[in-house]
């Protein structure tokens, strides 16, 4: 820019100088002509006086390289000419300077000479006898004078040029230096020449607009980040070249990435054949999907192409959904169905076998009652089993249970009434320390929880054993504790006894009428009321089940 301004100013100066030189030469030429006319007239008047006095003899002594002298009679006839043969010369009455001189005493003209064919200045003076003496000089002499000035002028021109260069450099610096020093972040605080003010005001306005736009973009980015970061699903946005544009927290956790991955190729994070295949497929088909396992979780990756309104590809959006629960529950469902069939088959086989023997009269009369009793107890077991399965499936399917005020004392009383006979039969004593506490929950489910826990505490006890039921108010809730001094649960089984159909000792459970579903029902029902089940147990000493129901139990 500095050079451009310098060159422009210099060029402008040169043009102005050349123009000035040409105009000056023109003026000088015309000025020199005026001077030459004045000289010529003085010479002509001097010569005219001499001729007037001396007559034709004056010309004998006249000699000049510069001037030409012509003497013309009043009728235009040439009497004498210093450069031409007067006898051959035509009448001069039509010459402007002659006519003027005859009329006014003096006349002058500038024209191409007929005789010499050169631009000539003429000055004519009338003398006393009415004739005219004329002096003329060619303009070449004037031009010579003018051209003689040119070397001086060129010298001045060179000097002026040097001066121009110096001034141009200073001007360009004075324009450019303040521009280079401008603080474009705070344009209005610059102290500079006035002409820059409109530009600085505009820059300031634009700066403010840019700041506003950046603020808006930042706010949108924050909104986008907080939405995507709170998503449980992983989300990755790639540009056309598969470089990561955005990646939420879930995706970072899953792939073990960090914010430094932004701007890098997605394959830096994961080089798996599946991902490469998915990226290729998404470009061909617009969508691709696959399952992968990581850190014990099963994930579904869905990649979708992002396109603009004109169908141009902008990038790819990848969603990673945790499908572990779905896959697990699918597996659990399959396992549950297999278990149910198995659990149903055992008593049914027993019923079938006993009834067949009876039908075919293959049982001794004295044993018949025993067979009938077995059929009855297996049928009873089937009913209990089916009831438990129904209860569990109700718990699985029901999303919302109607809530009510649950009195723990009432529930425990009805459970002890229902199980009192069973406890007596097994020689187990039930002791209660239940305060009159209540909370918001599902009465039927609380009953099932207490029933199953007390039922187990009796079932897995021994003759002379005890069951203690306690309920009390705790911080913002009600605590239920069912303790027994029965057989206890070995450590290695404690984590699994809440699984469906899991039993520590299958034959003991079956023989005592257990279904293997009691604690699953307890756990599920407790979850409905946002309560957890804690277990403490040691083999041979007994078990303690503790549940805390929140005051507003869900």
Alpha-carbon separation of residue 105 from 73, 93, 222, 311 (angstroms): 14, 14, 105, 101
Q: What are residue 54's phi and psi, to 5 degrees?
A: -90, -25
Stretch that binds ligand ADP, among 24-32, 76-84, 279-287, 517-525 (CB under 6 A): 517-525
504 binds ligand ADP (CB under 6 A): yes
Residues contacting ligand ADP: total by CB under 6 A: 24
Q: How far is the CB of 460 from ligand ADP (least distance, A)?
A: 3
Strand-by-strand arrangement of the 429-434 sheet: 429-434, 466-474, 477-484, 542-550, 533-538
Stretch that binds ligand ADP, among 173-181, 316-324, 421-429, 479-487 (CB under 6 A): 479-487
Beta carbons of 228 and 235 less than 8 angstroms apart? yes
How would you classify the pairing of strands 287-294 and 313-322?
unpaired
Closer to ligand ADP by Cβ: residue 95 or 523 = 523
Among 518, 528, 533, 547, binds ligand ADP (CB under 6 A): 518
450 binds ligand ADP (CB under 6 A): no
Report the C-alpha gap between 66 and 403 in whole angstroms.
138
Closer to ligand ADP by Cβ: residue 213 or 538 = 538
Closer to ligand ADP by Cβ: residue 70 or 515 = 515
User: Which residue's Cβ has the minimum distance to ligand ADP?
Assistant: 518
395 binds ligand ADP (CB under 6 A): no
Report the C-alpha gap between 77 and 326 in whole angstroms.
137
484 binds ligand ADP (CB under 6 A): yes
- With a CB cutoff of 8 Å and minimum separation 6, the contacts of 271 are none
Q: What are residue 289's phi and psi, to 5 degrees?
A: -150, 140
Among 489, 525, 529, 533, binds ligand ADP (CB under 6 A): 489
Closer to ligand ADP by Cβ: residue 301 or 482 = 482
Beta carbons of 283 and 306 less than 8 angstroms apart? no
497 binds ligand ADP (CB under 6 A): yes
Q: How far is the CB of 500 from ligand ADP (least distance, A)?
A: 8
What is the enclosing helix (H) or strand (E) of 245? strand 244-247
Among 73, 86, 323, 505, binds ligand ADP (CB under 6 A): 505
Closer to ligand ADP by Cβ: residue 4 or 538 = 538
Report the C-alpha gap between 157 and 18 in whole angstroms.
8
In angstroms and rounded to an integer, the radius of gyration of the C-alpha atoms of the chain is 63
Stretch that binds ligand ADP, among 42-50, 329-337, 363-371, 481-489 (CB under 6 A): 481-489
Closer to ligand ADP by Cβ: residue 515 or 531 = 515
Beta carbons of 460 and 423 less than 8 angstroms apart? no
Number of residues that make up the chain:
554
Among 509, 528, 533, 553, binds ligand ADP (CB under 6 A): 509
Q: How far is the CB of 336 from ligand ADP (least distance, A)?
A: 14
Stretch that binds ligand ADP, among 192-200, 212-220, 480-488, 524-532 (CB under 6 A): 480-488
Q: How far is the CB of 505 from ligand ADP (least distance, A)?
A: 6
Alpha-carbon separation of residue 268 from 246, 276, 317, 490 (angstroms): 14, 11, 17, 48
The dihedral built from the CA positions of residue 19, 25, 29 and 32, taken in this order, carries a sign that is positive
What is the enclosing helix (H) or strand (E) of 520? helix 518-528
503 binds ligand ADP (CB under 6 A): yes
Q: Which two tokens stand for residue 9?
A: 């100013």
Closer to ligand ADP by Cβ: residue 142 or 519 = 519
3-state SS, 409-453, equals HHHHHHHHHHHHHHHHHCCCEEEEEECCCEEEECHHHHHHHHHHH
Among 133, 514, 529, 531, binds ligand ADP (CB under 6 A): 514
Stretch that binds ligand ADP, among 95-103, 147-155, 230-238, 457-465 (CB under 6 A): 457-465
Binding site for ligand ADP (CB under 6 A): 452, 456-457, 459-460, 484, 486-489, 497, 502-505, 509, 514-520, 543
């Amino acid at each position: 820019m500095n050079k451009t301004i310098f060159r422009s100013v210099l060029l402008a100066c040169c043009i102005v100088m050349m123009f000035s030189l040409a105009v000056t030469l023109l003026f000088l030429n015309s000025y020199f002509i005026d001077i030459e006319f004045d000289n010529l007239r003085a010479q002509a008047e001097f010569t005219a006086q001499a001729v007037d006095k001396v007559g034709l003899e004056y010309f004998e002594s006249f000699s000049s390289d510069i001037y030409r002298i012509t003497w013309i009679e009043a009728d235009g006839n040439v009497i004498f000419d210093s450069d031409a043969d007067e006898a051959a010369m035509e009448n001069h009455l039509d010459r402007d300077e002659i006519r003027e001189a005859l009329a006014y005493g003096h006349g002058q003209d500038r024209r191409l000479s007929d005789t010499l064919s050169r631009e000539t200045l003429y000055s004519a003076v009338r003398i006393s006898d009415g004739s005219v003496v004329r002096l003329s000089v060619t303009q070449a002499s004037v031009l010579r004078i003018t051209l003689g000035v040119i070397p001086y002028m060129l010298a001045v021109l060179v000097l002026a040029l040097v001066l121009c260069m110096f001034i141009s450099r200073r001007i360009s610096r004075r324009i450019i230096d303040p521009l280079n020093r401008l603080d474009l972040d705070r344009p209005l605080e610059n102290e500079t020449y006035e002409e820059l003010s409109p530009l600085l005001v505009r820059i300031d306005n634009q700066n403010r607009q840019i700041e506003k736009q950046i603020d808006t973009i930042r706010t949108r980015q924050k909104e986008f980040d907080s939405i995507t970061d709170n998503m449980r699903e992983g989300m990755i946005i790639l540009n056309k070249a598969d470089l990561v544009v955005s990646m939420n927290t879930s995706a970072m956790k899953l792939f073990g990435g960090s914010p430094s991955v932004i701007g890098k190729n997605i394959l830096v994070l994961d080089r798996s054949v599946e991902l490469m295949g998915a990226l290729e497929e998404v470009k061909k088909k617009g969508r691709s999907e696959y399952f992968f396992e990581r850190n014990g979780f099963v994930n579904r990756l869905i990649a979708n192409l992002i396109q603009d309104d004109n169908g141009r590809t902008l990038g790819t959006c990848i969603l990673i959904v945790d499908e572990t629960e779905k896959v697990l529950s699918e597996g659990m469902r399959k396992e549950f169905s297999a278990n149910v069939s198995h659990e149903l088959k055992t008593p049914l086989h027993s019923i079938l076998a006993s009834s067949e023997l009876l039908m075919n009269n293959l049982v001794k009369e004295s044993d018949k009652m025993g067979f009938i009793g077995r059929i009855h107890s297996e049928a009873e077991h089937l009913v209990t089993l089916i009831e438990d399965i129904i209860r569990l499936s109700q718990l699985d399917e029901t999303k919302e249970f109607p809530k009510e005020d649950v009195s723990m004392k009432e529930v425990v009383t009805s459970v002890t009434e229902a199980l009192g006979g069973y406890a007596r039969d097994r020689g187990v004593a039930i002791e209660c320390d239940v305060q009159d506490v209540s909370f918001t929950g599902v009465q039927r489910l609380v009953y099932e929880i207490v029933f199953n826990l007390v039922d187990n505490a009796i079932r897995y006890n021994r003759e002379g054993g005890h069951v203690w039921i306690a309920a009390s108010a705790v911080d913002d809730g009600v605590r239920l504790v069912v303790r027994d001094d029965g057989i206890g649960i070995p450590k290695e089984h404690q984590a699994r006894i809440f699984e469906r159909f899991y039993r520590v000792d299958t034959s003991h459970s079956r023989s005592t009428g257990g279904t293997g579903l009691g604690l699953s029902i307890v756990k599920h029902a407790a979850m409905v009321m946002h309560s957890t089940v804690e277990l403490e147990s040691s083999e041979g000493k007994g078990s303690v089940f503790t549940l805390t129901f929140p005051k507003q139990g869900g």
